[in-house]
Structure 1
Amino acid sequence: MVTAARRWELWSTEACVIVTEPSMLDQAVDLSKAVCHDVEMACSRFRDDSELMILRGQLADGREISDVLAAIVRSALAAAEMTDGDVDPALGGVLLGLGYDRDFALLDEPQSPGPEAQGSIRVTTVAPSWTRIGLAGNRLKVPECLLLDFGAIGKALAADWAAHRISSTLGCGSMVGLGGDIATAGEAPPEGWVVLVQDLPDDPSGCVRLNSGYAVATSSTQKRRWSHSGRQVHHIIDPHTGLPAEAFWRTVTVAAKSCAEANTISTACVVRGRRAPSWLRDLGVPARLVDSAGRVSTCGGWPPDEMAGQS
């Protein structure tokens, strides 16, 4: 089976679409871009004209929201509940306070990753906040003091939705990658969907085969880093401290039946640090973890079709 692929820059990362019918590639890319645009216009906190930002300040009494934004909020709340709040969609204010106030490509060039010096960063208010978000049908209610951030779950959902949109509309197999979030739908190639698992070029690498309909997501403390108050910070926040999570893991990669699920679990593992493996074993989820020293561990029956050894 012949496949065709196209890559382009999106949301300060690389987007990729692969289809099993090369003649449908242009249409598949258009469908993927349309899905991503819908997600961006619904929930981006970096666009003044997104639905989320237009409604900011109006949600304290509750407002009706679009189906797209409602689906994103619903998934984000489900992720928070699943992780006991370790993945919290109401941390936009914390990220804003750390200087993540615009698209990542516009932030200062980050320095090489180094030891975290979080003790010098002050956070004035830390409180579990996702439970203060109310969603009944499409009516969203959010206290004025909270700023929502759907960056992680929004990207994962966009990958899921785009892959399924392509497959259902065009009738071909598809794989959609948005940075570390990779979703598949429809008939896979005979060899499966082959995915390279590696964060930075010098990191340990491996390849896995994904069966049709499965997804993989990687959360990293090495990327999306910037300088704030003279210190290096990253974008995965521990809701219990209001600070970037300790970089116990360089990366966590999880395979699941959707990108949204895989991303939720991988992000929570970064927050949980050394407690992550036992949680993963309880979940029975296949995962690959690379610690701060570059050592690789796997659990949950990490896909046995791994094709390349760790290097």
Structure 2
Amino acid sequence: MTATVGTTTGSPTGALGVRDWELWSTTARLVVTDPARLAAAADLVDDLLDAVDRAASRFRPDSELLGLARSGDGDVVLSPLLAALLAEALAAARATGGAVDPTLGGALAALGYDRDFSLLDRPRTVPGVATGGRRAGTPLVVRSLPGWRSLALAGHRLSMPAGVQLDLGATAKAGAADRAATLVSERLGTGVLVSLGGDVATAGAPPAGGWQVTVQDLPVDVPQQVTLAAGAALATSSTVRRTWRTGDRDVHHLLDPRTGQPTRGPWRTASVVATSCTRANAASTAALVKGGDAVAWLRGTGLPARLVSEDGDVVVLGGWPAPAAPEGRAS
């Protein structure tokens, strides 16, 4: 899952159609360059997002993800949509060396994230204060995890070990943003931006000057505006947005697949621009999981990226515009 990005979208020469709403315990925004198409675009997006939720939600009892029925040989036949979403999750796992892993559902549930985020206990620590994902003195428990390589997807048929709990939160929301933007552009012939929390996808012709997107994780952070060209996407992952109290510690939702525990820094926020939101999200999530290796790994991808440390320092690389001094440094 990703942090909410405050998005400011506008054109100096014309009006845009804008709709904001709450979705999946985060904020969503739909923007079209043709305001007359907003209502039709909203209907298309709502239907698509409902289909994604019915396919991949970990929390609604009627979702396909929670109701996977195995045949006698241990295989599961998936719907075309869930198969596509899982294929994207496995591609993200391969591209990130396993830093993004769709088999962490059981580990998240063990940490208490077994219901909608709005129902979890609030954390006691202040967002933005480094906690390392656990209270000092609490021993780190390394769990035996199935790992993404335990899954075999061939077309719509999935083979996986018994007891595996899938979680597609790291990629399905980004994939939904990509699909929604493409659908609106192709069906209605308008430029469109779809933002689902920190996952921003665009399609079609942008407004004059491009899509203006303000990147800001916490209210105390200095906002930075970036311009997205036609078809560009942006994703932000954060360890300070989805936090909750479990037992005697505060935890967050971004887990290290090697331990099944929340990542422990040094970065708390990662933003990445790519040609698809799915790819951007995989990179931003992987950066936080990779921790001290994030800068070198991101530089290898060539993607524009912005990292914020637990102390609030900013590092930009890959062509991401440098923030005004003394906020950060280009790398």
Smaller-chain TM-score bracket? over 0.9
Q: Could you tell which deviates more after superposition, 52-61 or 170-179?
A: 52-61
Residues 100, 170 of structure 2: 8 Å contact kept:
no
1:152 aligns with 2:194: no
Residues 156, 260 of structure 1: 8 Å contact kept:
yes
Structure 1: which 5+ runs fail to align? none
Q: Superposition pairs for residues 102-121 of structure 1, below 5 Å?
A: 102-111=115-124, 112-113=126-127, 114=129, 115-116=131-132, 117=134, 120=138
Residues 60, 143 of structure 1: 8 Å contact kept:
no
Alignment partner, residue 8 of structure 1: 21
Give the secondary-structure state (helix, strand or coil) at the position aligned to 1:168: helix
- 2:310 partner amino acid: S
Aligned length: 310
Residues 20, 29 of structure 2: 8 Å contact kept:
yes
Structure 2: which 5+ runs fail to align? 1-13
Cα drift, residue 63 of structure 1 = 2.2
Cα drift, residue 259 of structure 1 = 0.6
Alignment partner, residue 176 of structure 1: 194
Cα drift, residue 184 of structure 1 = 0.1
More helix by proportion, 1 or 2? 1
CA-based RMSD of the aligned residues comes to 2.0
Q: 2:101 aligns with which of 74, 88, 92?
A: 88
Cα drift, residue 127 of structure 1 = 3.4
Q: Superposition pairs for residues 48-67 of structure 1, below 5 Å?
A: 48-55=61-68, 61-67=74-80
Residues 206, 309 of structure 1: 8 Å contact kept:
no
Q: 2:263 aligns with which of 242, 245, 249?
A: 245
Residues 43, 52 of structure 1: 8 Å contact kept:
yes
Give the secondary-structure state (helix, strand or coil) at the position aligned to 2:281: helix
- 2:77 partner amino acid: E
Cα drift, residue 307 of structure 1 = 9.7
Alignment partner, residue 263 of structure 1: 281
Residues 249, 291 of structure 1: 8 Å contact kept:
yes
Over the matched positions of the two proteins, sequence identity in percent amounts to 49
Cα drift, residue 249 of structure 1 = 1.0
Alignment partner, residue 5 of structure 2: none
Cα drift, residue 133 of structure 1 = 0.6
Q: Superposition pairs for residues 19-98 of structure 1, below 5 Å?
A: 19-55=32-68, 61-98=74-111
Cα drift, residue 145 of structure 1 = 2.2
Distance in structure 1 (CA, Å) of the matches to 2:69 and 2:236: 30
Distance in structure 2 (CA, Å) of the matches to 1:109 and 1:261: 31
Give the secondary-structure state (helix, strand or coil) at the position aligned to 1:270: helix
TM-score, reference length from structure 2: 0.89
Cα drift, residue 178 of structure 1 = 0.2
Alignment partner, residue 18 of structure 1: 31
Distance in structure 2 (CA, Å) of the matches to 1:214 and 1:309: 28
Structure with more relative contact order (C-alpha pairs < 8 Å, separation 6 or more): 2
Distance in structure 1 (CA, Å) of the matches to 2:72 and 2:236: 32
